[in-house]
Structure 1
């Protein structure tokens, strides 16, 4: 078992050194499965942010001119360090988020290691030029970046920002969530051990209202990348606006899964439920509105009920679903379940009670609602818990209308007879991501949303593009 007390959780990582915070606050990190404290983590101040930005800006003047080969070697060294400390990373995420360790391995850690190597292979893009008539296009790093990452996929989102930023030649300050900060401490140690120059990467934990606000508003930050709620994303954008910095946002979702009339219903409904229940529903891309042909609706409801009732809950090797991340998150999810009941949705499985076999931990049963329509709160607002809503439709035009009747546009899904027959439906959905017949997340492809689900993209070559300024050089004709 990893001893997190050996991490420098009482310090900040600034300019290549572990140093005391200028503030005086700290906060506990709680294991949501046991409700016990793992450790205390220091909180940075606005003054600490200013010091880190000064360091990042100073080293940027040199770091931006390192060769692509040098940066590639460093990124691969970081990936090697992640492999060596994989068990530490797994335990850091599992014990603070509550995801069972055997699932954390492939859901939270393997992918980020792959993504780090992916960007190691793409540093050379920064040295490539393009011809445009009598002009040459040159790529340059945007500068100093502020990263505000969430608690639900903490390592995934850390790497989705840090890896392309390093590949581009940017410097950065990272602020993890107070709920799940430990993997960032491990990554700071890995990045330092890999030989990344002092000041290129800085780590300042603390509340969003202090550290996040300072990063967003600071004139020395050229870009801020935020992942979290739409409400908080709006505040980040407001704070960033006076300095006209680039802002990328990966925000909320209320994503539909359209099950076509020719789909294998058993397979589609089971996959749709598991998509919502994995990570205890704390997934921004979760397909929480399941749209089913009206003439097969009763059958779909029974399948969903069976899946929910079979779900293994806990943190052992047999568990599929762990606790929610915090007591606060559990109460939020319970309040939505109560709202669904109050508004007339039919509770098919799950509900407000603690799972019978557990007497502690922030657990919520996998919950299925039927007789839901798109005007209900549980069909319109992001619950961020293991709650799925089944909605009937009479034809595909109505299914598309229901799917797009949301302020969000992050993710979506279509399950049809085959991928070819799904594509006409895919093209009509207003979302940045679509999973067809159970297709898996792809780190080589861009990730991001439409509408109020944010702007900008992470992962893939488009994710690198967010950290690039294009310079157009006009040559004599």
Structure 2
């Protein structure tokens, strides 16, 4: 049994002010594998005080000093990748192969991209008018990360703070504390000064709110639901904090008939189901040109029926369980909602998949599901499901495809497939989303990630991620 009963504050592991224990459950069996202590506002006060004191000196470090620490951090992270992967599989159910090759590896991919961005970053420049602009760390940063991509999102928030000379307090999801604990150990071993990085476990309404309202926190960076992101913004408004948000999505996947339809449809189904559908930028609405629609339905059905669901402890390209019972119940309710609204079920449906390995009967496994002929007024078109559920619809013209793709409150990513380069560029220009995938190719580490509309504000990754953690100061040149 794992016990996480201390927080990392001012370079030490310290006991909570008034510990409140919460079980750590593994999604594949719903068994209890550990206990984590949750904090309160007093714990946040201690962590913020440590970060504020550390900022006085860490903010004055040179770029070269910070680059040296980041390179050391990369060495230690590589040495602990297997530990991170095992923790992620245990706490949130990502299959072993994915946990190491994608989930944990994101901690290295983003780190290398931030090192490259910092190397190229000019901390001072002279304007055409002769005035001098400097880019300085913003201060103490409150960072709140989700359970679905635990290390990916920790890296996207913690690393730019460390790179720019800011200090931080991390509140990871209380449901995925194992990987966060290891990440704190990695930072400690890398040699960061006490107080630069601090970790407090806790729930959003207590620890999250205490960070968002704290007068000494200069910036909040949050990834999670749109509802919770709105709450962070409201909490932060009283002290005029900078707030960056990466929220929900309902990403369209537009496939024209001149694309390689078989390949792009199969690939789109796999991307929707990846991470058991628990990705905010998953392509969950597949829009296919009508002349290729019937073929697309055949390919999609075959892909869904071939999708293996199994034990996340096993290696392979199967998908694992949903994260917990709340997710399971929500996804089941959404599938039933689709049936109640008369949506055509193409594959899957309610309940657990057949043929699960022995011992997984109590895990949160669901059937990969596809609905066809979905229209914009239907619930499955509009609401984020966060499970392996794809909806499909036909379109007749390019204009209709664009209108349907943009008919959502979200705008995180959009996917586009066509054999016509001019059309690809033309449609991409009109899609209201922060990231565009074309013909199966997405963007890489170091590129900006974030969305339009209710998918959030600000960008994470590379030089764009550094900018959110910097303030701009201007002065005239020195003259006697």
Would the TM-score normalized by the shorter structure come out above 0.5? yes
How far apart are residue 121 of structure 1 and its match?
A: 3.4
| Paired position in structure 2 for 1:348 | 346
CA distance in 1, matches of 2:180, 2:126: 37
CA contact 2:130–2:476 (8 Å) conserved in 1: yes
User: C-alpha distance in 2, partners of 1:99/1:135?
Assistant: 51
1:307: which partner in 2? 303
Q: Secondary structure at the match of 2:238?
A: helix
Residue 218 (str. 1) matches residue 214 (str. 2):
yes
Contact 2:221 2:243 (8 Å CA) reproduced: yes
Confirm whether residue 472 of structure 1 aligns to residue 474 of structure 2: yes
* Distance in 2 between residues matched to 1:340 and 1:255, nearest whole Å: 18
Question: How many angstroms does 1:466 deviate by?
Answer: 0.3
Render the CA deviation track for 1:400-446: whole Å, top value 9, x for unaligned: 00111111111100011155541111111000011111113411210
Deviation at 1:375, TM superposition (A): 1.1
Deviations 1:61-113 (A, max 9, x none): 10000111111111111111111011100011111111101111122122321
Give distance in 1, aligned partners of 2:143 and 2:400. 40
Residue 273 of structure 2 corresponds to residue 277 of structure 1: yes
1:154 aligned to which of 150, 154, 158: 150
Unaligned runs of 5+ residues in structure 1 are: none
Are 1:33 and 2:28 matched, yes or no?
yes
In 1, are the aligned partners of 2:435 and 2:450 still within 8 Å (CA)?
Answer: yes
Deviates further, 318-327 or 117-126? 117-126
**Secondary structure, aligned partner of 1:53:** helix
Distance between the aligned counterparts of 2:54 and 2:122, measured in 1? 18
1:424 aligns with 426
| Aligned equivalent of 2:183, options 183, 187, 207 | 187
2:197 is aligned to 201
- How many Å separate the matches in 2 of 1:351 and 1:141? 50
Q: Tell me which residue corresponds to 2:381.
A: 379
Q: Give the structure 1 partner of residue 461 of structure 2.
A: 459
Match of 2:168 in 1: 172
- CA contact under 8 A between 1:126 and 1:168: conserved in structure 2? no
**Structure 1 counterpart of 2:404:** 402
Distance 1:355 1:437 in 2: 31
Residue number in structure 2 paired with 1:392: 394
Name the CA distance, whole Å, in 2 between partners of 1:64 and 1:370: 54
**Is contact 2:279–2:386 with CA below 8 Å preserved after alignment?**
yes
CA distance in 2, matches of 1:420, 1:155: 38
User: 467-476 or 369-378: which moved more?
Assistant: 467-476
Once residues 364 and 89 of structure 1 are traced to their aligned partners in structure 2, the CA distance between those partners, rounded to angstroms, is 25
Q: In structure 1, how many angstroms separate the alpha carbons of the residues matched to 2:438 and 2:68?
A: 36
User: Structure 1 residue 135 and structure 2 residue 131: aligned?
Assistant: yes
Matching of residues 4-19 of structure 1 within 5 Å:
5=2, 9-19=4-14
SS at match of 1:414: strand
Secondary structure in structure 2 of the residue aligned to 1:139: strand
CA contact (8 A) 1:179 1:325 kept: no
User: Which residue number corresponds to residue 290 of structure 2?
Assistant: 294
> Contact 2:114–2:446 (CA<8 Å) still a contact in 1?
no
Equivalent in the alignment of 1:322: 320
Deviation at 1:180, TM superposition (A): 1.2
Residue number among 61, 65, 76 corresponding to 1:66 in the alignment: 61
TM-score where L is the length of structure 2: 0.96
Q: CA deviation at 1:12?
A: 0.6
- SS for the counterpart of 2:105 is helix
Distance across 2 between alignment mates of 1:453 and 1:118? 23
* RMSD (Å) for aligned C-alpha atoms: 1.4
Q: Verify the 8 A CA contact 2:106 2:155 in the aligned structure 1.
A: no
Task: Please give the alpha-carbon distance, in whole angstroms, between the structure 1 residues aligned to 2:30 and 2:126.
Answer: 55
Secondary structure of residue in 2 paired with 1:288: strand
User: Which stretch of the first structure deviates more once superposed, 302-311 or 416-425?
Assistant: 416-425
8 A Cα contact 2:451 2:457, kept in partner: yes
For structure 2, which runs of at least 5 residues remain unmatched after alignment?
none
Matched, 1:122 2:124: no
> Is the CA contact (8 Å cut-off) linking 1:29 and 1:96 kept in structure 2?
yes
Which residue does 1:256 correspond to in 2? 252
SS at match of 2:68: helix
Per-residue CA deviations over 1:428-472 (Å, capped at 9, x if unaligned) read 100001111111341121000001110000002111000000111
Residue 240, structure 1, aligned to residue 242, structure 2: no
What is the deviation of 1:14? 0.5
